[in-house]
Amino acid sequence: MQTYFKKRYNSFKFAFRGLNSAVRSEPHMRLHVLSTLGVVGAGFFFDVTKTEWCLLIGCIGLVFTAEVFNTAIETVVNLVSPAYNPLAGKAKDLAAGAVLAASIAVAIVGLIIFVPYVISFLNLAKHT
């Protein structure tokens, strides 16, 4: 039984090491972390609903997941094809495109959630 728990512990340890590596080595991942802090701050400031929190957390998870997959794909491609290869470049472009697609979708969700709060806040500020 102890072996089972040790394997689970190691799995989590390696996964957290991977996330840590992505944050430390990838500038875009650091931008995602910074954006996350801004979104969480805005969520508390505007007191978003539970449903909106769920959407925001899901979106944050989607972008982080896409970025980690992108980093993993780029790392493997660099390993197996250190010299320039058009197919290697295509694989890396596709992975980056997935992050871009996720980021655009998430930005739209963010706008749908936050624009009404910002408009309401500005209208309230204008009348005080």
Q: Which of 26, 52, 67, 74 is catalytic?
A: 67
- Do the beta carbons of residue 46 and residue 121 sit within 8 Å? yes
Is 74 a catalytic site residue?
no
Q: Report which of 32, 105, 128, 35 is spatially closest to residue 43, judged by C-alpha positions.
A: 35
The DSSP H or E segment spanning 19 is helix 2-25
99: exposed, middle or buried (Cβ count in 10 Å: 0-12, 13-18, 19+)? buried
| Catalytic machinery residues | 67
